[in-house]
Amino acid sequence: MECNGGAEKKKTYMSTITLEMKSSRESPAQGCGVTSTENGTALKGKKKTQRDTRKAVTPKRKDTSGTGPAVEFVDPVENVQVHVGETAQLFCSFNCSGPTASCWIHNRKKVVLDGDRTRIESSTRGSVLTISEVLPVDVGSYTIFVQTRRGLAEHTIVLSICDRPEPPASCPFVSQLTPSSLVLSWSGPNYDGGSQITDYVVEMQNFGPAESGDWSVLTSECKDTTYRVCSGLHAQGEYCFRVRACNAVGVSEPSEESDCIKMITAGGLQEEALPQVDVVIDTTHKVKDVYNIHEKLGVGKFGQVFRLTHKETGRVCAGKFYRAFGSKDKAAAREEIKLMKGLHHPKLVQCLGAFDTRSEIVLIMEYIAGGELFERIVDDNFEHTEPNSMKYMRQILEGILYLHHKCIVHLDLKPENIVCINATGTCIKIIDFGLARKLEPGKPLMVMHGTPEFVAPEVICYEPVTLATDMWSIGVICYILLSGESPFQGNTDAETLALVTAATWEFDPEFDDITDEAKDFICKLLKKEKSTRMSCEQALAHLWMASSAGRVTKSLNKDKMRHFLARQRWRRTGKAVLALQRMTNLSNRSDGSDSPTSTLNDTALEKEAEDAVVALEQQLRSEPNFPQTLHDLTEPCGATVYMACIVQGYPDPEVVWLFNDKPLEETERVQIEYKDDGLRTLTLTQVQPRDSGIYEIRASNHLGQALCSARLTVAN
């Protein structure tokens, strides 16, 4: 990205000080200049001639002010909140010495000095960023970087906006349809108005013969993005649904309306309608005390899954028996149980209970009998088309959207973790949350596990994962679903990981009959840079989700899908999850104190913002200079002469004092001090006629050199 500040005029900030030589009895504390003191009675009896002990000149830095911070922020504000359309002022005051340069960064982009709605006023004491007619796009973090000659400092202010939320991003989708009930699922709003979503209002429109067709409120206190409608529905009725989002400010406009649902078409249960249960962890009994244990359903890295039947009710369940021998394994098992206890969505497998005893830890889940989705697709009696594939992807997105709203990343999305509810329907669920993790603000999460074909590049490179990490895996699943080919499959795991890291892929010939909308959907997910991938909300709102709904396309070839499944079955023998090793070591970075970016502390800046911050140091650069020159002076023999000046320039100039064109050396009578605030002093005691001559101070840095001088005459 180009740096907006690259063309800004170079600025030089300088203070002025007079360098001169003053005579008579003026105290050095009265100003910057030269002071002489006549020899009085206190000097009587002292020898006029002293033996000089000469030594090399070394700068003396007695001023300890340089040990503090480069910039001290005064009463820093951390949060500013305004309403949409108002003017926001972000003020940052600071204390520092010398010239300063500053810039504001918003969400990793430089704020324009004088933009359409932004104005920045800066001085050596602070900076004010004014944003007029605030819009939702203005929310986020605003960081001011202040550069001084002693270093770089930063402070962040978070701007939030109070407004009612945008409508939910998608219309309600219907699942678990029975003759008398159904479940609605939808996507939350893309923008919450700057305040947390507290509730959803679910509305229904009845198209029955005696109905007016007006919208009625089913509930105004729905806390999640799913809602079960189990009353008020008639077997012969036709209904539409829509949803509104609520926050502390108000209620949004309604979402798009759902398709018209005819209850008579339900026919029967497509999904078993499981009620939401309060999960109880039994720490007293063993599984076999409550359940009969039957055949093994699967084996994974973390344990085995068996079919169970409850001894009293006969209810069929699935039990995941963890391999929890050590404390670390037990902690991981309990973490998965804790996570699953809070998941209640029709597209996610539901936790029903758990057993946690000294000898075993078992998770009880609903039993899903339909088998893996890809296994269903290759069945000869199953029609495999692009519109059907789109419906499966929609269901996957609905389930993952629920997770992402809870800041949970699945981290193991792959075909075998997508299963069908039963042997005849087309409803699916997502299973296996053994690798799922909850993301916490300010705590980067890095993992080294996953399945090579489906992990995102950031996992292999051991970089922080985000919600976008799941979106990469969804893109891979969609690619395979439509073609039967894996976009990153290599001959070895190492080759596969290399292809993923490079994000190298292309559409196979199998995509010749696939719509452009579907290809665009995949392209917007399989992006190496995670910040550019579609989110769940954006994926559900993608044109493919609507364009393929009513389109009739030919059946897709299943042969490659069968080959893919055969290869997967072979690869899963003996290992369900592959631990990933980093393919490259992180390069060592130089963090020297002389680097203008060394104090950024790994702030994730885009190139535009990084260039803007680096440019601050350039703005301070100036060649050495003296605002005023020295004045000649005549002093009596035996006086004390004090010379002082402040040298300007950045980087700090190297300073040398000269006497009659030769470097001046320190002696007992000649004292030189250099201080951090730029003050340079020369003190001559008991001056003699031999001290008469030209005194010069020469300052230089890589930008140039400056010289000023004065003549001192010592009278007999």
| Active-site annotation, residues | 412
Contact 413, 450 (CB under 8 A): no
Nearest Cα neighbor of 352 from 340, 369, 368, 334 is 340
Which residues contact residue 10 at a Cβ distance below 8 angstroms, ignoring those fewer than 6 apart? 618, 619, 621
**CA-wise closest residue to 337 among 310, 362, 309:** 362
For the chain, the first-to-last Cα distance in angstroms comes to 70
Helix, strand, or coil here: 277?
coil
422: which residues sit within 8 A by CB, 6+ positions away?
A: 270, 271, 272, 369, 370
Q: Report CA-CA distances (Å) from 529 to 561, 585, 586.
A: 29, 19, 17
Is the alpha carbon torsion for 510, 513, 514, 517 positive or negative? positive
Question: Any idea what DSSP says for residue 499?
Answer: H
Cα–Cα–Cα angle for 512, 515, 518, nearest 5°? 110
CA 627 to chain centre: 47
Contact 266, 236 (CB under 8 A): no
Q: What is the Cα–Cα distance from 542 to 475, expressed in whole angstroms?
A: 13
- Structure-token pair, residue 521: 């959907």
Q: Cβ atoms within 10 A of the Cβ of 18, count?
A: 17
CA atoms within 13 A on the CB side of 218: 24
Angle of CA points 501, 503, 506, to nearest 5°? 145
CB-count exposure of residue 76 (10 Å: 0-12, 13-18, 19+): middle
What residues contact residue 344 under an 8 Å CB cut-off, 6+ apart?
224, 226, 276, 350
* C-alpha to C-alpha distance for 523 and 30, rounded to whole angstroms: 73
Element (H, E) at 128: strand 126-131
Q: What is the largest CA-CA distance in the chain?
A: 126
- Nearest to 344, CA basis, from 278, 395, 282: 278
3-state per-residue secondary structure call for 131-156: ECCCCHHHCEEEEEEEEECCEEEEEE
Cα 289 to Cα 216: distance, rounded to the nearest angstrom: 48
Compute the chain's Rg from CA coordinates.
Answer: 37
Instruction: Report the alpha-carbon angle 140-143-146, nearest 5.
Output: 170
> Is residue 383 classed exposed, middle or buried when 0-12, 13-18 and 19+ CB atoms within 10 A define those classes?
exposed
Q: How does strand 199-206 pair with strand 633-636?
A: unpaired
Helix, strand, coil share (%) of the chain residues, nearest 5: 20, 30, 50
